[in-house]
């Protein structure tokens, strides 16, 4: 139990669906992250938020839309996804966005796009 929760844990969606992934951290952190882990590939950083402002968008397609309404919550809105977007989506948080601060990861959402 890391203090970072993600819902849902599993999601199956069609290519025309719209869904959202939710992440919540109970650690009082100010920075939150979305990572993608495809099968047999390293984790890839997608987005970074610091104090609710996006500080990094790692060339992610626009069909992925992040939202950070406050420092405890992070969403990833999904629409018109492709089968190759099937992956484990991980959320993380850290005390600040400074490189000194450790990241705590949630358990991930396993996404399958049909």
Partner 1 sequence: DAKTTQPPSMDCAEGRAANLPCNHSTISGNEYVYWYRQIHSQGPQYIIHGLKNNETNEMASLIITEDRKSSTLILPHATLRDTAVYYCIVRVLTTDSWGKLQFGAGTQVVVTP
Q: Which residues bind partner 1 (CB under 8 A)?
A: 2, 4, 31, 33, 42-43, 45, 48, 50, 55-56, 88, 90-92, 94, 97-108, 110
> Which residue, 16 or 40, is less far from partner 1 as judged by CB?
40
Nearer to partner 1, 84 or 100 (CB): 100
Nearer to partner 1, 71 or 80 (CB): 71
Nearer to partner 1, 31 or 113 (CB): 31
As a whole number of angstroms, the distance between CA 67 and CA 50 comes to 12
User: How far apart are the C-alpha atoms of 56 and 106, rounded to whole Å?
Assistant: 19
DSSP string, 30-74: SEEEEEEE-TTS--EEEEEEETTEEEEE-S--TTEEEEEEETTEE
Q: Write the CB contacts of 86 (distance below 8 Å, at least 6 apart in sequence).
A: 38, 111, 112, 113
Which residues neighbour 59 within 8 Å (Cβ) at sequence distance 6 or greater?
A: none
Q: CB of residue 80 vs partner 1: minimum separation in angstroms?
A: 27
Q: Provide, rounded to whole angstroms, the least separation between the CB of residue 99 and partner 1.
A: 4
Shortest Cβ 84–partner 1 spacing (Å):
19
Nearest distance from residue 15's CB to partner 1, in Å?
25
């Amino acid at each position: 139990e890391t203090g970072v929760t993600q819902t849902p844990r599993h999601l199956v969606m069609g290519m025309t669906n719209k869904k959202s992934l939710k992440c919540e951290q109970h650690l009082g952190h100010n920075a939150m992250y979305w990572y993608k882990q495809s099968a047999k590939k390293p984790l890839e950083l997608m987005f970074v938020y610091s104090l609710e402002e996006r500080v990094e968008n790692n060339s992610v397609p626009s069909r992925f839309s992040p939202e950070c309404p406050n420092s405890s919550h992070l969403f990833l809105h999904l629409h018109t996804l492709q089968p190759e977007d099937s992956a484990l989506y991980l959320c993380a948080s850290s005390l600040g966005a400074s490189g000194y601060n450790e990241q705590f990861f949630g358990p991930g959402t396993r996404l399958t796009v049909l």
